[in-house]
């Protein structure tokens, strides 16, 4: 039996698509990450095993350890490892298991590395456009039942503080 896997290049989507880009441009990167993860959680609902990968390769404190938030696996890649490598490895493993895989990235090298077989590539823009076009439909599956869900409200404050420090490269 095959599953459906959704792998999202977090910073790629944030940098290239509103409303996430707008938040990041206003120095609200935490809010941009939270909004993306909440949207992916609602979009994936019971259809996908979803993972959002953020690049933590330049952060010496980043271990690459996955965290579960709103039913989505969130990973900051380990020190010295790019998010693209994490996505490529996870896509290859899912493909080998026979899963159907959707990779969301606009990074050309990652696109070429993952394409083929049961792996479908979606650009960040395509994915964001689909999120906006079908928002009313998938929002009803939001983990909180509310379109105003904030990931900060769904995770333990100590975990939130630790993730924020890691993202900023602090100990």
What band does 120 get if pLDDT is binned at 50, 70 and 90? confident
Alpha helix (H) residue ranges in 99-142: 108-114, 124-133, 135-139
DSSP state of 134: T
Question: Using CB atoms within 10 A of its CB, is residue 83 exposed (0-12), middle (13-18) or buried (19+)?
Answer: buried
Using the predicted structure, report yes or no on whether residue 166 has a pLDDT greater than 50. yes
Prior bond to 19 cis, omega within 30? yes
Residue 17 CB partners (closer than 8 Å, separation 6+): 124, 125, 127, 128
Using the predicted structure, report yes or no on whether residue 12 has a pLDDT greater than 70. yes
Average pLDDT over the chain, rounded to an integer: 82
Using the predicted structure, report yes or no on whether residue 129 has a pLDDT greater than 60. yes
C-alpha pair distances (Å), 11 with each of 39, 54, 79, 84, 138:
14, 6, 16, 11, 22
Taking Cα atoms as reference points, which of 106, 62, 61 lies closest to residue 87? 106
Question: Using CB atoms within 10 A of its CB, is residue 134 exposed (0-12), middle (13-18) or buried (19+)?
Answer: exposed
What would the mean pLDDT of 131-145 be, rounded to a whole number?
62
What would the mean pLDDT of 134-159 be, rounded to a whole number?
57
What would the mean pLDDT of 81-105 be, rounded to a whole number?
91
What would the pLDDT profile of 42-71 be if each residue is shown by its tens digit?
Answer: 899 889 999 999 998 888 888 999 999 999
Among the ranges given (60-64, 77-81, 128-132, 149-153), the one the predictor scored with the smallest mean pLDDT: 149-153
């Amino acid at each position: 039996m095959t599953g459906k896997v959704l792998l999202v290049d977090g910073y790629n989507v944030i940098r290239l698509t509103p409303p996430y880009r707008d938040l990041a441009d206003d120095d609200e990167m935490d809010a941009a990450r939270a909004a993306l993860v909440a949207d992916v959680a609602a979009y994936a609902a019971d259809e996908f095993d979803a993972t959002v990968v953020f690049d933590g390769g330049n952060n010496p404190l980043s271990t690459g350890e996955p965290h579960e938030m709103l039913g989505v696996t969130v990973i900051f890649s380990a020190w010295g490892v790019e998010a693209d490598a994490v996505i490529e490895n996870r896509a290859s493993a899912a493909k080998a298991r026979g899963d159907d895989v959707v990779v969301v990235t606009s990074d050309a090298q990652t696109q070429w590395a993952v394409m083929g077989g049961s792996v479908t590539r979606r650009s960040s823009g395509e994915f964001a456009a689909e999120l906006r076009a079908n928002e009313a439909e998938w929002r009803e599956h939001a983990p909180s039942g509310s379109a105003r869900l904030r990931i900060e409200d769904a995770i333990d404050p100590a975990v939130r503080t630790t993730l924020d420090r890691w993202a900023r490269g602090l100990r």
